Amino acid sequence: MTTKIGVLVMSYGTPESLEGVEAYYTHIRRGNPPSAEQLKELKDRYEAIVGGVFPLRENTDRQVAALQNALNSGHNAENVEYVCYQGLKHARPFIEDGVEAMLQDGITKAVGIVLAPHYSVMSVGTYIKRAQEKAAASGIEMTFVESYHLHPELIDVLSRRVAAKLDLFEETGAKRGEVRVLFSAHSLPERILAMGDPYRDQLLATSEAIAKQAGVTSWQFTWQSAGRTAQPWLGPDILETLRELSEAQVKYVLSAPIGFVSDHLEVLYDLDIEAQALASELDLRLLRIDSLNSDPAYMSVLSDVVQTAAKELKVSQS
C-alpha cells in the first residue's frame, strides 16, 4: 500500500503582474498600504529586472516540481508517495491555500519546508506558524524542517559555485587571494539579536563552512536588502561594505548571497543593479555566484531533509 505524504513547499512569493504590486506590498506591510512614493519606488525596481517579469514565480514553480520528482525518484519511492504543494508568504497561493489544497486531496500527514536555509523567528518561524495553525484547524498532522544551513550537499554546491567564480577572476588576471568573498543575506531588524535568534549565527556558520571547503581566506559577511522602516536593521549593508573595501584598496569582490536560493528582486536588483552600479563607481570588479534555483544538488538537499522530517510522522509503510 502506498501512503501519500503532503509536502508544503513555502516561499516568499512575488506579484503576478505590475498591477499586483500594490496588493503584494500591502500584504508585506501587514495590511498597511504603501504611500504613492513607496509604491512607485518598488514598481521601478521590478521594472528594472529582466524584462519586467517576476522571476521568483517561475523559479518557485520549477523548484516545487523538481522537488516532487526528486522525492519520488529511485529508492526514495518505497511505499510512500510525496505530493508537493506550494504555499507563499505574501502572494497566491498563500501558505493557508497550500494547506487547504492538501486537505481537499485527503492528505492527513505532511512535512513543511521553506525555500530559505536559515531560521529566524521573523522569517521561517512565521511561515511555520501560519502553516501549523491552518494544519491544526484542518486536522492534518504536520512536521517542519526549520533549517538546513549546514547540510553537506548545500555547503558542497555553494563551495563549487564560489570556486567557479574565483577561477573566473583568476582567468582574467586577479590572484585568488586578492578577491574578497562577500557572503550576504537579507537583513532583519536588529532586535532579533536580543531575542537570541539563531539567524545571524547560522549565516556565519554557513559562510565559514563554504570558505573552508572552497579554500577562501579573504572573506566577510555583510547584510543586504534591509527594509525601508525607521527601526534599526542589522548591518553593515553591502553598499557600505563595498565603500569600506574600496577605501581599503580591495579591487576584486565576489558576492555570495547565501541567504537566498533563487534569482529574484533582492538578487537581480539589489545586487546585480544597485550594488553593481556602486562597484563600477568605486572601480571595483564585482561578480556574483549563480543562484541555486532548481539545481539538482539543491533539490537533493531538500529531498533529504524532507525525508528525514517525514520519519517523525510515523507513516505505516506496510
Q: Which is nearer to ligand FEC, 125 or 218 (CB)?
A: 125
Residue 258 found at the interface with ligand FEC (CB under 6 A): no
Q: CB of 43 within 8 A of CB of 81?
A: no
Site string for ligand FEC, 91-130 (x = CB under 6 A): -------------------------x-----xx-------
Min. distance of Cβ 8 from ligand FEC in angstroms? 14
Taking the C-alpha atoms of residue 168 and residue 187, their distance in angstroms, rounded to an integer, is: 29
Taking the C-alpha atoms of residue 62 and residue 230, their distance in angstroms, rounded to an integer, is: 36
Taking the C-alpha atoms of residue 308 and residue 304, their distance in angstroms, rounded to an integer, is: 6
Min. distance of Cβ 38 from ligand FEC in angstroms? 7
Taking the C-alpha atoms of residue 157 and residue 155, their distance in angstroms, rounded to an integer, is: 6
Site string for ligand FEC, 176-195 (x = CB under 6 A): ----------x-x-------
Site string for ligand FEC, 45-74 (x = CB under 6 A): ---------x-x------------------
Q: Of the candidates 28, 65, 121, 282, which one interacts with ligand FEC according to CB under 6 A?
A: 28
Of 211, 201, 204, nearest in space to 289 by CA: 211
Residue 230 found at the interface with ligand FEC (CB under 6 A): no
- Name the segment binding ligand FEC (CB under 6 A); options: 24-32, 80-88, 100-108, 162-170: 24-32
Taking the C-alpha atoms of residue 7 and residue 308, their distance in angstroms, rounded to an integer, is: 12
The long-range contacts involving 240-249, CB below 8 angstroms and separated by at least 24 positions, are 241/182, 242/275, 242/278, 242/279, 242/282, 242/284, 242/286, 243/278, 243/282, 245/180, 245/284, 246/282, 246/283, 246/284
Of 314, 313, 307, nearest in space to 77 by CA: 307
Min. distance of Cβ 218 from ligand FEC in angstroms? 26
Q: Report H helices in 122-251.
A: 124-138, 152-171, 191-194, 199-214, 238-247
Min. distance of Cβ 220 from ligand FEC in angstroms? 20
Three-state secondary structure call for residue 157: helix
- Name the segment binding ligand FEC (CB under 6 A); options: 161-169, 248-256, 260-268, 287-295: 260-268
Q: Which is nearer to ligand FEC, 46 or 169 (CB)?
A: 46
Record the cell numbers describing residue 91, joined without a space: 502572494
- Name the segment binding ligand FEC (CB under 6 A); options: 78-86, 159-167, 175-183, 227-235: 227-235
Q: Which is nearer to ligand FEC, 28 or 83 (CB)?
A: 28
Q: Of the candidates 134, 149, 161, 264, which one interacts with ligand FEC according to CB under 6 A?
A: 264
Residue 229 found at the interface with ligand FEC (CB under 6 A): yes
Q: Which is nearer to ligand FEC, 184 or 241 (CB)?
A: 184
Q: CB of 82 within 8 A of CB of 306?
A: yes
SS3 per-residue string spanning 273-307: HHHHHHHHHCCCEEEECCCCCCCHHHHHHHHHHHH
Min. distance of Cβ 164 from ligand FEC in angstroms? 23
Chain residues binding ligand FEC by CB under 6 A are 12, 14, 25, 28-29, 42, 54, 56, 116, 122-123, 186, 188, 227-229, 259, 264-266
